[in-house]
Amino acid sequence: MKAKKIEEKFFRVLMFLSTMFICMVLFLILFSILRSGLPYLSWEMISSVPSGGYYFGKEGGILNAIIGTLYLSLGSTLLAFVTGLPVALMMNVHLASMPRFVNSIRLILDLLWGIPSIVYGAFGFTIMIYLGIRASLLAGIITVTLFVLPIMIRAMDEALKTVPKGLLEAALSLGSTRSEISYRVFFKQCIPGMITAVLLSFGRAAGDVASVLFTTGFTDHIPTSLNQPAATLPLTIFFQLSSPIEEVRQRAFAAAVVLVIIILFISILTRVLSRKYHKNRINF
């Protein structure tokens, strides 16, 4: 009797500790990034492009990388949205009577989600060679789109799955076409989920290095067309960290702070928006 109680107590303490550990780790990561980067973050850092001698510790900033990241993530999120939304809707509206087929699509998407981004990067590189385009913003956008597409579709699908089947039947019986049901009923009903899906993909696209390593190249300028190479924030951090010069490494710390702030901002935005639009939902 006694041993039973002690065992339970022991494991409850362990469980509590491991939960605390996860919180602590997040706090520790954010704290150490902010502590090492904030002293070097200045207005010049985020408002100017690298000038001559930047990589030897002279003046300049990372505006090229910030803009490059925004271009890349916006472009690929938009492309993934345009191709992903129809697939997610089709799985839940048009193929609603074929659950086996839908489940196998889900399986394929889950498998694609699990494939490491470096493989997408290598694949993007083979596409580049095949199509004869060089490392550019366009090649990066295509690669990152492929990378975030399964994430976006699955996230949308999870939201659309919760729409009750009765709604589909009711709309069909009123004579709506399937595309009307898709956009006017299902899409509207799931706006919080859609926002979550889009912002999740945006965060993934903004933070990934391995898939753009091969495909976007690197430049000190802000790209003005799709054919030009682009820099991204994670790439900038990665390259500058390998520099032997202390000033350049410090800039990598500062760039990391910028990236963390962007990611945290997206995370908070997701919560606020999905809570705001949740009110408009019809509840059953």
Partner 1 sequence: MRKMQVRLSRAMRNNIHGFWMVICLALVIILPVTMAAGLYWKSSVLLHENSLLSLVFSKEWKPISGQFGFYPFIISSVWVTMAALLFAAPICLLTSIHLTQYAKRWVLKVMHPVIDILAGIPSVIFGLWGILVVVPFIGNYLGPWLGKQVSGYSILAGAIVLAIMIIPFVLNILIEVFKNIPDELTEASLSVGATRWQTVKFVLLKKGMPGIVAAFGLGMSRAFGETIAVLMVVGNVTRIPTGLIQPGYPLPALIANNYGEMMSIPLYDSALMLSALILFVVVLIFNLISRYIIIQCDEKC
Site for partner 1 in 188-247 (CB under 8 A): 200, 203-204, 206-210, 213-214, 234, 237-238, 241
CA–CA separation, 79 and 83 (whole Å): 6
Q: Which one-letter DSSP state was computed for residue 185?
A: I
- In the complex with partner 1, the residue whose CB is nearer, 49 or 255, is 255
Q: Which of residues 100-139 bind partner 1 (CB under 8 A)?
A: 103, 105, 107-112, 114-123, 125-127, 129-130
> From residue 141 to residue 180, what is the string marking binding to partner 1 with x (rule CB under 8 A)?
-----x--xx--x-----------------------xxxx
**CA distances in angstroms from 165 to 70, 99, 174, 183, 191, listed in the order given:** 38, 13, 15, 16, 17
- In the complex with partner 1, the residue whose CB is nearer, 67 or 256, is 256
> From residue 75 to residue 94, what is the string marking binding to partner 1 with x (rule CB under 8 A)?
--------xx-xx-xx---x
Q: Which of residues 37-66 bind partner 1 (CB under 8 A)?
A: none
* Contact present, 161 and 197 (Cβ < 8 Å): no
- When asked if residue 18 is in the footprint of partner 1 (CB under 8 A), the reply is yes
Shortest reach from residue 131's CB to partner 1, in Å: 11
Q: For the residues of 61-87, what is the DSSP string, one character each?
A: -SHHHHHHHHHHHHHHHHHHHHHHHHH
Between helix 233-241 and helix 246-278 the angle, nearest 10°, is: 150
